[in-house]
Amino acid sequence: MALLPIIHVPDPLLRQVAEPVAEITPAILKQLDDMAETMYDAPGIGLAAPQIGVMNRVIVMDCAKDEDGPELWKMINPEIIQLSEDTSKLEEGCLSIPGHVGEVERPASLRARFLDVDGNLQEMEADGLLAACIQHEIDHLDGVLFIDHLSRLKKNMIWRKVLKDAKSRN
């Protein structure tokens, strides 16, 4: 396995829509393993392929509490098939927008469908942090960032800081 570089805003790849995976190949399985290692090393609780500059619909997540041990999800072509009407607010951050967080309101629970590493179609129900994480990572596959769910004022404040930080790195 290998650690992969995580791209940061304002990289335009983060605003593109990822393509579905047509076939689960050894390269896709290696990508999932490398993404999981990268996510844990960052450290983070989720990572989508566009965040490593790969434009396919692949995500990894682990929202388990430390005392529960790891609960790694590897999802290929994930999609949300049902969202609850009730919502919840959670503070979100992003490995592609380091150092910035914001309170995001999302549907509190969902039903998702995805392919597992063996190519089997799976469905799952999720709520709480896992539901928010699934929505956050699938947003990445669609070119959407968590800051897009914030008020215009909060989004602009974060965006100005991000652009200033990007200029100082160059």
The catalytically annotated residue of 79, 105, 123, 137 is: 137
Residue 47: its H or E element: strand 46-48
Provide the greatest CA pair distance for the chain: 46
Return the SS3 of 127.
strand
Reported in sequence order, the residue ranges of 57-138 that DSSP labels E, i.e. its strands, are 58-61, 73-83, 87-93, 101-107, 109-115, 121-127
**β-sheet bridge partners, residue 106:** 88
Q: Is 137 annotated as catalytic?
A: yes
Q: Which residues are catalytic?
A: 137
